[in-house]
Amino acid sequence: MDTESQETPQQVPATAEPAATPTARGSITELRGNLAADAELKRQRQALELQRERILSERTSSPHRRSALAAALLEIEEKLSELGWTVHL
């Protein structure tokens, strides 16, 4: 039993050191995932802003076309608000 009690303290530090490495790797992977998610949200927001600008710049005399543009604008602004966007005046 003496050999077992002597081996146990040696094993504890050996398992403690590798446990720190996966935690560090996990946080790096998590950070990369967050950056990728932030970039995707930014891309979505930019695409919606461009669509909004295009709709606002369109001119038409057709009442049906105007109502379709208004509905599209409303939908785009709802999606933008979900992404945390506010109207820039």
pLDDT given at position 20: 47
6: left (phi over 0), alpha (psi -120 to 50) or beta: alpha
Asked if residue 89 belongs to a domain, the reply is: no
Asked if residue 36 belongs to a domain, the reply is: yes
Asked if residue 88 belongs to a domain, the reply is: no
pLDDT given at position 88: 62
Average pLDDT score over residue span 69-89: 87
Q: Is the pLDDT of residue 33 over 90?
A: no
Asked if residue 23 belongs to a domain, the reply is: yes
CB within 8 Å of 45: residues ≥ 6 apart: 80, 83, 85
Asked if residue 8 belongs to a domain, the reply is: yes
Q: What is the pLDDT of residues 9-23, one digit of tens each?
A: 555 555 444 544 556
Q: Provide the domain count of the chain.
A: 1
Instruction: Quote the strand ranges of 4-78, DSSP E.
Output: none
pLDDT band at residue 37 using 50, 70 and 90 as cut-offs: confident
Name which of 13-27, 28-42, 53-67 the model is least confident about: 13-27
Q: Is the pLDDT of residue 29 over 90?
A: no
Average pLDDT score over residue span 10-37: 64
pLDDT given at position 34: 85
Instruction: List the domain range (segments joined by +) for residue 41.
Output: 2-82
Asked if residue 22 belongs to a domain, the reply is: yes
CA distance 14 to 25: 18
